[in-house]
Amino acid sequence: MVKTKRKAAGRVTWPRKIIHIDMDAFYAAIEQRDHPDYRGKPVVVGGDPRNRGVVSTASYEARKYGIHSAMPAATAKRLCPQAIFLRPRFEAYRCASRQIMSILRQHTELVEPVSLDEAYLDVTKHKLHIDNPVIVASLIKQNIAAVTHLTASAGVAPNLFLAKIASDFQKPDGLTVIPPDAVQAFLKDLPVRKIPGVGPVTEKGLLAKGIKTCGDLATLDSAWLTRTFGKTGLFLYHRALGVDEREVEPHTERKQYSAEETFEKDVLDTEWLKSQLRVYAEEIYEGLKKSGRMGNTLVLKVKYHDFEQITRSKTFARRPENWQEIYRIACLLLETKTLAGRKPIRLLGVGMSGLRPLAEAAKVETGDLFDGVL
């Protein structure tokens, strides 16, 4: 079904040739590269396990003990006391990231970096006229290994979401191809949770209706899915059929990072709105940290039931060091600068602007931003 050899691209016609590259255990792999003593050992990069630090990532040796990103570092220490615990060195990670992105641009200008260690490429028209995208992906992996001494996993598919699933399929050092003629077979047994964007809550809603796989989703009526799950229903239906029309968008780094949602019903309950702010705050904090940046201004966006839209912002004295700080300021703005609780709200969002590389922010502002935080 999923082919990993070059012949996979064979004679099939590719409507688009998309590659997703994702580095393996990125921060931890760089630490092992730069400190030969750490190779082959469990390495955990993140905050201080003695404080309230959180794991940024763990080497594959450490993952065997159940350690993973976003876990409290103290829990990681309990699971594997002998692991090597390190604070992040963002400058080293950004340097490797720049090398990787420049290798990708040797193949096409259509490169969309998603975070420091992840990017999409559209190689439908390859710069050096290499037709077979599997050969391109394999060359990229070799180039990255030669220049950075790090391993990457690659996914090759006819669209972005399939390429992303593919790159994750055989980590580490994987190369997974989903040729156009294998898409349906690949999706048939794929658990819904594997669709990027489907988190635990959506998964639970789908499982409650007996929908386990993309194959299950594809047999359903799209109108029923839309009625039952709103906009998400249609999104899921398309993904289950292997449809993803998004283009690879080469961009400079985003100026703002945000999360927002239009609710199915207008909401008056302030406590419920605050529970949404908590979700956005966590998402924004983790997302920004993953991209190696942090903002200094929080923007709260509210659209009332009558479509009147307002934004309220607040600049932090120093960049937030955890999601709770973002959450606290968002709640403050909601409670003091909007009509929440008095006028029904149909859309709520939080954004961060004034984005800066984390290492730079740390140097400039506190000198020790990461202690006990990441």
Q: Which of these is catalytic: 31, 61, 118, 321?
A: 118
Residue number with CB closer to ligand TTP (32 or 132):
32
Contact pattern for ligand TTP over residues 69 through 108, marking x by CB under 6 A: xx--------------------------------------
Helix (H, G, I), strand (E, B) or coil at 145: helix
Nearer to ligand TTP, 24 or 244 (CB): 24
**Which x/- pattern, by CB under 6 A, does the window 161-200 give for ligand TTP?**
----------xx----------------------------
Q: Is 140 left (phi over 0), alpha (psi -120 to 50) or beta?
A: alpha
CB-based burial of residue 302 (10 Å sphere; 0-12 exposed, 13-18 middle, 19+ buried)? buried
**357 touches 94 (CB < 8 A):** yes
State the binding partner of 274 from Mg ion, ligand TTP, none, CB within 5 to 8 A by kind.
none
Closer residue to ligand TTP in complex, CB, 304/323: 323
Q: Mark residue 71 as left, alpha or beta (left: phi above 0; alpha: psi -120 to 50; beta: remaining).
A: beta
Among 290, 293, 319, 346, the residue binding ligand TTP under the rule CB under 6 A is: 290
Cα separation, 242 vs 239, in Å, equals 5
Active site residue 253: no
Nearer to ligand TTP, 32 or 56 (CB): 56
Residue 48 touches which member of ligand TTP, Mg ion, none, C-beta under 5-8 Å by kind: none
> Could you list the residues that contact Mg ion (CB under 5 A)?
22-23, 26, 117
Calpha distance 202→191 (Å, rounded): 12
Interatomic CA distance for residues 369 and 372, integer angstroms = 8
CB of 59 to Mg ion, least distance (A): 12
Q: Which does 112 bind (CB under 5 to 8 A by kind): ligand TTP, Mg ion, none?
A: none
Q: How far is the CB of 316 from Mg ion (least distance, A)?
A: 29
Residue 70: which of Mg ion, ligand TTP, none does it interact with, CB under 5 to 8 A by kind?
Answer: ligand TTP
Tell me the C-alpha distance between 154 and 141, whole Å. Answer: 8
Residue with tokens 């009625």: 227
Number of residues this chain uses to bind ligand TTP (CB under 6 A): 17
Query: Is the separation of the CB atoms in 111 and 250 below 8 Å?
Result: yes
Q: Which of ligand TTP, Mg ion, none lies near 290, with the C-beta cut-off 5 to 8 A by kind?
A: ligand TTP
69/202 with CB nearer ligand TTP = 69
Of 8-27, which residues contact ligand TTP (CB under 6 A)? Answer: 22-27
**Does residue number 57 form part of the binding site for ligand TTP (CB under 6 A)?**
yes
Q: Are 133 and 118 in contact (CB under 8 A)?
A: no
The two tokens of residue 114 are 């998603």
Min CB(172)–ligand TTP separation in Å: 6
> Which among Mg ion, ligand TTP, none contacts residue 122 (Cβ within 5 to 8 A by kind)?
none
Cβ at position 184, least distance to ligand TTP in Å: 27
Of 46, 44, 76, nearest in space to 58 by CA: 44
**DSSP one-letter string for 337-365:** HS-TTTS-EEEEEEEEES-EEHHHHHHHH
Nearest in space to 364 (alpha carbons), one of 318, 313, 322: 318
Residues 248-287 that bind ligand TTP (CB under 6 A): 286
What values do phi and psi take at 10, rounded to 5? 10, -125
Residue 160 near residue 118 (C-beta atoms within 8 A): no
Instruction: Give the separation between CA 294 and CA 321, rounded to whole angstroms.
Output: 9
Q: How far is the CB of 23 from Mg ion (least distance, A)?
A: 5
The contact set with ligand TTP (CB under 6 A) reads 22-27, 56-57, 69-70, 117-118, 171-172, 286, 289-290
Residues labelled catalytic: 118
